[in-house]
Amino acid sequence: MVIDTVKENLCINKRISTKKEIFQVEGDMIVPDSKPDILNTICTSGVVCIYKKEIMTDKIRIDGNINTYIMYLADSSEDKVRGINTDLDFSEFIQVPNCQEGMTCKLEVNLKSIESKIINGRKINIKATVEAKVSVFSNEEVEIINDLTNAEEIKMLKEDLKVNSLVGTGETKIYAKDNIAINNIDNLAEILKSNICICDKDVKVSYNKILVKAEAEVNIMYLTEDNRINCVNAKIPVVGFIDIQNVNDDSICDVNYEIKNILLKPNPSEEHSVYVEIEVGVVATVYEEKQINLIQDLYSPCENLDCNKKKITTITDKKSSQEIKQIREKLTLEGMENKSIIDVDVIPIIENENKLNSRIIYEGELQLMFVVSDNEMQIDTKSAKIPFEYAVENLDNGEQMNTDMEMEILNKDFILQDGGIVSSNIDIKMNMNSYRDTDLNIMDEIQTNGEREAQDYSIVMYIVKKDDTLWKIAKTFGSTIEDIVRTNGIEDENKIDVGQKLFIPRYVRKTNKQNPVVVNYA
């Protein structure tokens, strides 16, 4: 006979695999006819855009480009510094074990380095190193038995657990557009360099809807018609809605942003502005915290029971935390006498993650690229690195935590002092998402399989062994915890001692063919 069960649904968003891979992107660029020949490159910068992801069997294909700007010294007496722009396209396959079509993935890409080499005065070779971190997830709906009906004689061992169940995922595209004003006295000739990143991320969860809010921070270095170099910084709002059923104020939401395309175009000179358009892909994954009363084990003193058990892995203790890491460092750069700082790019990189029992230590470095000029407007670049360490303290079993750390540069300030010393003041927002994997042993079917074998005695004496519990003893002998406690005068059913003698009352079933009777001899 199949026993009636009470079930609840649990949606598992399980991380199948994580892969970090570094790949090279390379291409040649022809200098447009409208530009002078190249004498020497000054600096090369880029922003990685991902416009397509495709999950296949054991691999993922990513398609994108690197929006690249090259600032160079012109081989011309009239022009000193010029800039050119190109998109460096790539298509890359990343081998990810166990991933399959239909799964979802989170992709983080970082441009670790980019450089250019002159082939001739009209041709440049560009090489970029990209780091991609891919996390693949599978979604599975499972039913958990948490209670039984019409089964008064069945004894159940239950455990209260908190797990994070997937509510749903959704995505949208946001087009962030704006005209960024430059100084009114500047007549913009061309863009020399740009950097774009998504910052100030926030999310608001309401009934069936996710509001995602962020800003695209845009830094543009440009050349004026009278051969001066200037910079402009601006933030463009990135705001959108994602519809996901059954979300509410208590839901936990992860949001991932990807820059897909970039357009920078100088407006007519009289407008003194640059038109910027950024296509941003946003994916939201929403969880709810569920308290489940899970059946760990069961038996019947009267009947033999058959049940199918299986182990599933889900997540629990999902949290997010933010903290500001301040870095105050003095750098000595050679050849900085009589120079001024025009711009500084700061790229934070985590090199190592060490998980200990109660803390996680991150070791990383800030990669800095300075663009400087002298009194004669000669442009040069300087590079430096600042190592740093960041610790997350007071953790419970830190080794068992799954973590994702994102870093965001909030503020940066550089002051050039005497002797080429640069005072660096940098604030980094450390965003950590964490959760734990937990294994659940669940039963997906329970049925009776005849009566237990009848015994010719009603009480047995038992000596407690190591690792025994009253539940194990009661199940072995077809008794109940309540009867053992009552018979032996036990005050705390969770405390029995090795070597202790217990009298175990047995159930004896006396039957006739018409009316079986259960007799408790306790």
Q: What is the DSSP string of 329-380?
A: EEEE-TT-TT-EEEEEEEEEEEEEEEE-SS-EEEEEEEEEEEEEE-TT--EE
Looking at residue 145, its amino acid is I
Contact 251, 164 (CB under 8 A): no
**Helices 470-477 and 481-488 sit at what angle, rounded to 10 degrees?**
110
SS (HEC) of 406-439: EEEEEEEEEEECHHHEEEEEEEEEEEEEEEEEEE
Does residue 355 sit in the same domain as residue 464? Answer: no
Assigned domain for 300 exists: no
Domain boundary among 266, 287, 308: 287
Number of domains in the chain: 4
pTM of this prediction?
A: 0.85
In tens digits, the chain (522 residues) has pLDDT values of 567 888 888 898 888 898 999 999 999 999 999 899 999 999 999 999 999 999 999 999 999 999 999 999 998 767 689 999 999 999 999 999 999 998 999 999 999 899 999 999 999 999 999 999 999 999 888 888 888 887 777 888 888 899 999 999 999 999 999 999 999 999 999 999 999 999 999 999 988 899 999 999 999 999 999 888 999 999 999 999 999 999 988 899 999 999 999 999 999 988 999 999 999 999 999 999 999 888 888 888 888 888 888 888 899 999 999 999 999 999 998 888 888 999 999 999 998 999 888 889 999 999 999 999 887 778 889 999 999 999 998 888 778 888 899 999 999 999 998 888 999 999 999 999 999 998 888 887 787 777 776 555 578 899 999 999 999 999 988 888 999 999 999 999 989 999 999 999 876 554 433 333 333 333
Q: Is residue 426 part of a domain?
A: yes
CA gap 411, 420 in Å, rounded = 22
CA distance linking residue 461 with residue 452, whole number of Å: 20
Distance (Å, whole) CA 374 – CA 380: 9
Please state, in angstroms and as integers, the Cα–Cα distance from residue 215 to each residue in 20, 236, 263, 387, 388, following that order. Answer: 27, 5, 16, 28, 26
**Helix H or strand E segment including 482:** helix 481-488
Q: Are residues 266 and 197 in the same domain?
A: yes
Residue 107 near residue 134, CB atoms below 8 Å: yes
CB 493 within 8 A of CB 508: no
- Residue 311 in any domain: the answer is no
Same domain, 422 and 465: no
Sign (positive/negative) of CA torsion 459, 463, 469, 472?
negative
Domain membership of residue 186 (yes or no) is: yes
Half-sphere exposure of 85 (CA within 13 A, CB side): 16
Specify whether 204 is located in the same domain as 283. yes
In terms of residue numbers, what domain contains 67?
Answer: 1-153
Distance CA 144, CA 294 (A): 7
